[in-house]
Amino acid sequence: MGTLIQGVHIDKDFPVSNGVLHVLKDVNVSFEEKALTVLRGRSGSGKTTLMNILGTLDRPTRGQILINGNDITHITDAQADMLRKTHISFVFQSVALIGSMNAYENVEFMLRIAGKPLDRERILHCLDLVGLSNRIRHMPYQLSGGEQQRVAVARAIVHRPRLLFADEPTAQLDSATSQIIMNMFHTIIREEGITVIMTTHDQNMMELADQVYTLDDGRIVTEAE
């Protein structure tokens, strides 16, 4: 496996009333393709900011973002939008399913956003991959929190991205359901060839990752594999 994405000497500053807040400080990270990497740290450590920069939702103040060795740091907003439509996807703590759509329709909606053909076989495959082939007609309010998160994952992978970012995907779930979600990520990596990068502060999730980066006060303090 090769390196899919890198962050090189990443700084992120935010202006505040009394000066500048340095949220990320000379962060260097490298993520192998087809692996599950965890960004861990306490609230305010900078892990979500780093994820947003790696995923082109935000830009670094200084430093570079490389995908397959290509510098994407200064791509236009339109190019970043296209990259997210084709190669990058997201799952958030708040699953943000559309309440008026059932599970199948929520997954189908991503294909519409990405401008891809509405492939019923692909949609059903993704719902089966997350263990919800028997819940495709259920509305979000009819699903448990863990099931809603699994629909969100199916929606995030249906257009075949290469890179999936998951921000605290197990934060609101019990330990047994969190285990299911983590196992599901490994299944997706194995069967879909997707690289998964997730943030968490849950120590129990560390053992299930292929690689772990720990952030503290905006810096990488340890790396364990």
Q: 42 or 124: which carries more pLDDT confidence? A: 124
The angle formed by the CA atoms of residues 87, 164 and 61, to the nearest 5 degrees, is 80
**Mean pLDDT across the chain:** 91
Q: Are the beta carbons of 30 and 182 closer than 8 angstroms?
A: no
Q: How far apart are the first and last CA of the chain?
A: 15
CA distance 72 to 53: 11
Residue 185 lies in a domain: no
Q: Report the pLDDT value the prediction gives residue 5, as an integer from 0 to 100.
A: 96
**pLDDT digits 0-9 by tens, 51-98:** 999 999 999 999 999 999 999 999 999 999 999 989 999 998 777 899
Question: How many CB atoms sit inside 10 A of residue 61's CB?
Answer: 15
Q: Report the pLDDT value the prediction gives residue 1, as an integer from 0 to 100.
A: 67
**pLDDT digits 0-9 by tens, 150-164:** 999 999 999 999 999
| Domains identified in the chain, total number | 1
**pLDDT digits 0-9 by tens, 13-25:** 999 888 899 999 9
Residue 47 lies in a domain: no
Write out the two tokens for 7.
């962050």
Backbone angles phi, psi at 74, to 5 degrees: -110, 25
**pLDDT digits 0-9 by tens, 211-220:** 999 999 999 9
Q: Report the pLDDT value the prediction gives residue 181, as an integer from 0 to 100.
A: 85
Q: Report the pLDDT value the prediction gives residue 111, as an integer from 0 to 100.
A: 95
CA distance 141 to 63: 43
Please state the pTM of the whole predicted model. Answer: 0.91
Domain range for 105 is 95-160
CA distance 102 to 141: 9
Any residues with CB less than 8 A from the CB of 194 and at least 6 apart, and which? 34, 157, 161, 162, 163, 164, 188
Residue 27 lies in a domain: no
- Stretch 115-137: mean pLDDT: 94
Residue 128 has pLDDT above 70, yes or no: yes
Backbone angles phi, psi at 207, to 5 degrees: -65, -20
